[in-house]
A and B are shown apart, each in its own frame.
Chain A
Amino acid sequence: MEVTTKSMPYEAWKDNEYIEQLVEELKANGTNVIVGSFDKLINWGRSNSIWPLTFATSCCGIEFVSLGAARYDMARFGWEVARSSPRQADFMMVAGTIVHRMAPVMRRLYDQLAEPKYVIATGSCAISGGPFRNSYHVVKGIDEIVPVDVYLPGCPPRPEAMIYAIMQLSRKMKVEKFFGGVNRKEKIEEFLAAHPEESYD
């Protein structure tokens, strides 16, 4: 199965093996026809309506503003509905360095996102700590705190790269299963078991 989006040839994508492997895994148990078509409809909706959370800590956030502006115009893909409340957003673009003091706040924001939720680690700071890796106050990659779906390198990444990253995310959503089957959700549970959630009382 070739997973791609409008006006983007399959060969133009990178990391096709990853998606193919994901599809293989999901197909391993076979698919019910009716359930499968429901899945398709839902995934069509999800993958075409990806609302970001307005969350930025530093330079990458400014490139995200540029992404919304007229030249790059993320509204073309329907991503411009940036929600300030995490309850209403679909994914979190962790744009910028995450430091020790911010880490619990970011985790809390992630917990507040409504399922299904996704994370893009934007820029080298979010991926690994980037130029600040050796600092005493910087988290060495946000995957210590939240599960990451797409890693987007750059310092900061160009808006074109951001478009590509969100399109990759959209492609990942396309092969998900909502009704039964192997689902990404289990992965989150594994992650949460390893990184226990604190209680908010």
Chain B
Amino acid sequence: MANIQEKITKLFPDATFEEGEILLVNIPDAKWHDLAKCLKEDADLHFDYLVTIVGMDWKDKFGCVYYLRSTTDNVQISVKVTTEDRENPMLHSVSDVWNIATVYEREVYDFFGIIFINNPDMRRLFLSIDWKGYPLRKDYDMSPENNPVPRENERQEDVTYTYVENENGKVEKKTITLFEPNDFVVNIGPQHPATHGVLRFRTAVDGETIKKIDFYSGYIHRGIEKLCEGLTYPQTLHFMDRMDYFSGHHYHHALCMVYEKALGIEISRRAQVIRVLMDELARIASHCLFLGTYCMDLGATTMLFYTLRVREQILDIMERTCGARMTFNYGCIGGVMQDLHPDFVKDVKALLAVLPANIKEYNKLFIGNVIAKGRLENVGSLSREDAISYGVTGPSGRASGWACDVRKTHPYSIYGELDFEEVVYTEGDSMSRTKLRIAEMEQSARIIEQLIDNIPEGEYCVKVPKVIKLPAGHWFQMVEGCRGVFGVYIESDGGTSPARLKLAPPCLPLANVVDHLTRGSKIADLITIGGSLDYIVPDIDR
């Protein structure tokens, strides 16, 4: 940590530092781009993975907090850049350093109206073109008259904008056309069976070959981050089930951990074991559903019914303990909501007994199928460098050879003491992404096997204050969701509700990389690639 600080000070004397669980660097906007380049390219630092960009409104100034991670030694660092201009806030873009920054900066622009100079695509991301105001600013007018429910079809522009500095330092707006006038643009989505929800791809095709994809999201943008600012801390938890509805337990885990970290609460071992058990069960269920819907997209409908059998069994276990089939709301600050059902151990053992046979069946039925091989192998290959630069984490990143499992790189809860493998493949194609998920199901089963006979006695939820107030400050926590790294950033001003709650979902980078992967392939490959990335649209939009 210290030598990072030294190194940065040597090159950038303006930088100031705040010590914390993660080192925070304050840097003036003018130097930020150079620092970013240095942080990424310097062989010792090598911060090549941009975890997320947190847009902030501190009332007196706007700014961004960048979370960076090195993939060589997994050191984390954060950088804070601010601007005091409230009329025309502008920062410099780092989209040329990390590819994923392009879309993260669009998100910040959409929510805070901060313009990023040199970002090649400065359009709104979630809200429509004609939306008035920037919703996450503290002075945003929430009244429905301001933005009524639209009756007309949304206005569509075929251009995007970029802001560049000319030689005398003035910022100019430039227009870039998205599609050529003669392009045959097919509109796939938002209501389309293969987009897994309401994502929209405007696809320029040449016959069956895809030339370019422009992705639009926001068709299920529910403004969870803004809503959380008006709720108390325990109330914010239930939204976690409704983003990526398969990783509900993981997301709960993340948010609970960040609150517990802030409050300094130590939860009981029993609660930790229960949380990990639930996480891993949910992972198996999620990968089952992935496999089923993926096969259905590819035309092998029957597979869906076989995978759903196992999922239903897991849902039964969950239902008995949590009381719901999908939106469990099980984790709470201090532990979990209810104790385990008396039959829990028996049910889980029954599941573990049938799982290997089922996995064998999936391999036989689909992975070994000659048509499936033809459709999946060498389709949508993602290299390790691109995976890191595009921020593609989770099973999709690991299939490209990037060991990015948070359970191994930054072990949280009791994962450090468990014995399991991080499955990493190197091919990076759709087939390896699919096979990797099946292999992960086996690893999750292994974790459950280790824990199921050793659930310690104790309280499932420790005592916490009736009114939860976080001390002023900010915290960041990552967990490994079913689809990749899920990060939570919380900033508190000492009150009963968060000043800013930023959720960094894994699915936005996944949807963003589709264009890169599909260029030059066939329309059918769009389905193959999109399906194998396994994004969940409410998770992208929040």
- Enumerate chain A interface residues (CB-CB to B < 8 A): 54-59, 61-63, 65-66, 69-71, 84, 96-97, 99-105, 107-109, 131-132, 134-139, 144-145, 155-156, 158, 195-196, 198
Contacts and interface: CB of A to CB of B under 8 A. Distances in A.
Interface residues of B, number: 48
Nearest to A63: B326
A66 B312 CA distance: 8
Interface string B125-136: 011100000010
Contact of B242 (A63, A69, A105, A131): A131
B152 interface: yes
Contact of B245 (A59, A70, A109, A134): A59
B239 interface: yes
Interface of B: 126-128, 135, 140, 142, 147, 149-154, 190-193, 197-198, 218-224, 226-227, 230, 238-239, 241-242, 245-246, 289, 293, 304-305, 308-309, 312, 315, 325-327, 537-538
A8 B153 CA distance: 43
B149 A103 contact: yes
A101 B326 CA distance: 26
Contact of A99 (B221, B326, B327): B221
A156 B242 CA distance: 10
B105 to A, nearest CB: 20
B223 A144 contact: no
A123 B497 CA distance: 27
Contacts of B152: 104, 198
A101 B221 contact: yes
A138 B242 contact: no
22 contacts: A54-B193, A58-B220, A58-B538, A61-B197, A66-B308, A66-B325, A69-B304, A69-B305, A97-B220, A99-B221, A101-B127, A101-B218, A102-B219, A104-B154, A105-B190, A105-B219, A131-B242, A134-B230, A137-B126, A137-B127, A139-B149, A156-B325
Contacts of A56: 197
A163 to B, nearest CB: 14
B20 to A, nearest CB: 32
Contacts of A155: 327
A54 to B, nearest CB: 5
Lowest 7 A-B CB distances belong to which pairs? Answer: A135-B223, A69-B308, A59-B245, A132-B222, A58-B538, A102-B219, A84-B193
Contacts of A195: 151
B147 A58 contact: no
A59 B327 contact: yes
Contacts of A137: 126-127, 135, 147, 221-223
Contact of A62 (B127, B154, B289): B289
Contacts of B293: 65
B193 A99 contact: no
